[in-house]
Amino acid sequence: MIKNISKDKVIDIALKPFWNRFFRFNWVFGLVLLLAVCIPRFILVLQANMKGSYGSIGIIMAISALVPFVFLSKNGRRIIGFTKPASYTWLCYSFLAGIFMSTLLFVIGHALYSDTVSNWYVYIGKSYDLPENISSHDKLIHFTIFAVTGMIFSPIGEELFFRGIVHASFRASVGDKKASIIDSLSFALTHLAHFGIVYIAGMWEFLFIPSILWVLGMFVTSLVFILCKEKTGSITGAIVSHAGFNLSMIYYIFYHL
């Protein structure tokens, strides 16, 4: 990441020249991105949960990953942390931190809600649509497929978007701490579409207390991803931590629920 440069300088060099005619790299630009990406995503995830078809989610993740390359200059990509990691040791710690957060959420969800749909991992696991009497061999194949895709698509797409371009655009206006709160809150609320507003037996429900716990969990997890980005000096730290989170979550869904 580029350090020790003024906010005005960041604003001037972050966007590609074409986009500088329309935007400034500041909180307004970040808010426009959040509205343009997160609202359609929220709706598409709800529709996917209702219809059981999740192809559109992959498209949203691809768009999220492409946003920094569409709008940002080379300097802008460096500003959001698209650089070589400064600490490979912290890459390992980042992966373990993601596993820890996912495990913590599993323990809390299982302790409070067991195998009911009020448990966030149980509800998310229903989207995998696995056969009831699946063999251990076939389960391993499905787990491998879901684990590999889960460690690639959403970590890259969401981290480049939330911890990358959105965080940096707000940081240019309000500073790093407030930007961390904004992008983490946005990330957490977006995940209400994955759990909290649930579609069960042909009806929509809002699970009030479980959804609060889930959003809080996603908020804290986002802060961990930000920490991993800072410690590694690269957005790669956040991506690796997110990959560890998803791998662990999928493991618990497949083998412990």
Question: Residue 139 domain-assigned?
Answer: yes
Question: Residue 2 domain-assigned?
Answer: no
**Domain of residue 139, residue span:** 7-255
Q: How confident is the model at residue 105 (pLDDT cuts 50, 70, 90)?
A: very high
Cβ atoms of 48 and 61 within 8 Å: the answer is no
Q: Is the pLDDT of residue 119 over 70?
A: yes
Work out how many domains the chain is built from and give that number: 1
Question: Residue 1 domain-assigned?
Answer: no
Q: Is the pLDDT of residue 257 over 90?
A: no
Share of the chain above pLDDT 90, in %: 86
The pair of three-digit structure tokens given for residue 140, joined into one six-digit string: 């391993």
**Distance from chain centroid for Cα 10:** 25
How does pLDDT run across 4-42, given as a tens digit for each residue?
A: 565 656 667 899 999 999 999 999 999 999 999 999 999
Question: Residue 131 domain-assigned?
Answer: yes
Residue 108 and residue 140: Cα distance in Å, rounded?
25
Strand segments, DSSP code E, in the chain are 197-200, 203-206
